[in-house]
Amino acid sequence: MKMPMDVFINFNGNCREVVKFYAQVFGLEEPAFMTYGEAPPNSQIPVTEETKSLVMHASLTIFGTVVMFMDTTPDMQVNQGDNIVLTIRSKDLDEVQSFFNKMKNGGRVLMDLQETFYSKCYGMLIDKFGIPWQFIQDTD
């Protein structure tokens, strides 16, 4: 039995901003956010004034894939984008172009949308939060 792959991305305190941005880009409703302060007490994750408003969990379903998000606690800083690339595939050229153009706002384009040997339209960028993305027009 095949299982779907979920994606989990950690942030250094700006998780809420990231999730709101992605929800807007993909036309999704803003999800519920659970903060560390709202979570049941856990002796391994002490809640301080600094951490109680940080996001412990949020998720979006983007094209059937669950993407989960959280802020790390200050003692667990992460380097954004070092270990993940998210890929958006669509047969609809207008959709690929629209998502790419929305996502590049405030980000850095690594490869503008163009024809490649494997796609009529392909592009790569790093969004304004440091996450790498690929956009591919699927022709299958």
Phi then psi for residue 87, to 5 deg, are -120, 130
- Tell me the pLDDT of the chain (140 aa) as tens digits: 455 667 889 999 999 999 999 999 999 999 999 999 998 887 677 788 889 999 999 999 999 999 999 998 888 878 876 778 898 989 999 999 999 999 999 999 999 999 988 889 999 999 999 899 999 998 76
What confidence score (pLDDT) does residue 3 get? Answer: 52
Q: Is the Cβ–Cβ distance between 11 and 78 less than 8 Å?
A: yes
User: Domain limits of the chain?
Assistant: 7-71, 86-137
86-137: CATH topology? 3.30.720
Note the pTM of the prediction, 2 decimals: 0.80
Task: Collapse the DSSP code of 122 into the 3-class scheme (helix H, G, I; strand E, B; otherwise coil) and give the result.
Answer: strand
Task: Please give the Cα distance from 69 to 9 (Å, whole number).
Answer: 5
Give the residue among 18, 13, 129 at the shortest CA–CA distance from 75: 13
Structure tokens of 133? 């993305």
What confidence score (pLDDT) does residue 5 get? Answer: 62
